[in-house]
Amino acid sequence: MAEDSSRAFTWSCPPLFRDSDRILLAHGGGGRLMQQLLEKLFLPAFANDALERRHDGAVVEVGGLRLAFTTDSYVVRPLVFPGGDIGSLAIHGTVNDLAMCGARPLFLSAGFILEEGLPVATLERVVGSMREAALAAGVALVTGDTKVVDKGKGDGIFINTAGIGLVEASQPIGPRQVRPGDAVILSGDLGAHGIAVLSVREGLEFDAPVESDSAPLWAPVQALIQAGVELHCLRDLTRGGLSAALNEIATAAQLAIRIEEAKVPVREAVRGACELLGLDPLYVACEGRFAAFVPGEQAERAVEVLRRFPVSAAAEIAGRVEEAPAGTVILRSRIGANRVLDLLSGEQLPRIC
């Protein structure tokens, strides 16, 4: 392999998009358009097992070790919101993606894209939050990069973090491990992160201000592993909220997921804000909540373990997995009516993370 530059490559991107097609905000929204971009462009280009597994991170083997590897860019607007800022978010998001692989988060990288003219004080605040969040999550930020773009070509601060974790779960975790009969456990109440960000963006005032749920999730996941709970799939409920997460899993597993609305925890203030704003909390992003798919008979024990941790004290068994209709998420409302919980085509809340 002295020099590869002369190799001829035959791959060319199939013409799946029209010439006139342009990127929309919704391509980054966790809904149908993002899935399309993934399926038509990224997966065919980089085809490999790890990507095909369609999980929050890749599990790769290096020298006999099972490592989890993941990345996320953070473009939240505004940079600071009740309960956090882009810095703490950039640590929690990546640490949680590793946790969703059943991996102990070890090392993070950070890449900053700064806009010319950004007050250095803002950067100092954000870096301070990253430091605190990394310490609290027990990870070391070991490598980084800073780029600056001209004024008007960025938006203050964008941060990318990538992370390496050591897989502690003994079984593979992912959508394809989900089985009929699995219980769907939610680790806590939904939508607080999205509403917290939106409240600042839209200048809303609530009687009781809603704080983001942004938090690290490895501690409760590790406790589940150590308690011997068989984790089929874990998924944090970020972009697109519970609905996007369950739809991705139902599609990848080709199974049906049935959820009881009465068992989905939503705080009163969040519910009120959602009504006011015309949002459905099942589609609103969290940054410290996850869904766990475990064998039905282990569900009670899993909830018991989760409730020992403040971050997952409100855990509930919210649904179950069935054979059919494959690839579908069905919500049973409080009054007993069933409706299909679909992926959004558009974008409900841009730049929420």
Q: Report 160-219 residues binding a second copy (CB under 8 A).
A: 160, 162, 164, 166, 215-216, 219
Footprint of a second copy on 7-26 (CB under 8 A) = 7, 9, 11-13, 17, 19, 21-26
Footprint of a second copy on 292-311 (CB under 8 A) = 308-311
Distances (CA, A) of 135 to 64, 131, 167, 187: 28, 6, 20, 23
> Distance between CA 136 and CA 259 in Å, rounded?
33
Is residue 146 near a second copy by the rule CB under 8 A? Answer: yes
Query: Can you say how many angstroms the Cα of residue 256 is from the centroid of all Cα atoms in its chain?
Result: 21
What is the nearest approach in angstroms of a second copy to the Cβ of residue 236? 13
Q: Would you say 46 or 345 has its CB closer to a second copy? A: 46
End-to-end Cα spacing for the chain: 41
Footprint of a second copy on 109-128 (CB under 8 A) = 109-121, 123-125, 127-128
Candidate ranges 148-156, 195-203, 225-233, 255-263; the one touching a second copy (CB under 8 A): 148-156
The arrangement of strands across the sheet holding 103-115 comes to: 58-62, 65-74, 157-167, 103-115, 140-149
Is residue 227 near a second copy by the rule CB under 8 A? Answer: no
Q: Which amino acid, 58?
A: A
Site string (64-103) toward a second copy, x via CB under 8 A: -x-x-xxxxxxx----------------------------
What is the nearest approach in angstroms of a second copy to the Cβ of residue 72? 5
Please pick, from the candidates 39, 153, 300, 345, the single residue that binds a second copy as defined by CB under 8 A. Answer: 153
Is residue 147 near a second copy by the rule CB under 8 A? Answer: yes
> Distance between CA 180 and CA 293 in Å, rounded?
10
Footprint of a second copy on 313-352 (CB under 8 A) = 350-351
CB-based contact 107:139 (threshold 8 Å): yes
Helix axes 86-99, 120-137, angle to 10 degrees: 30
Beta-bridge partner residues of 257: 321, 329
Q: Would you say 160 or 199 has its CB closer to a second copy? A: 160
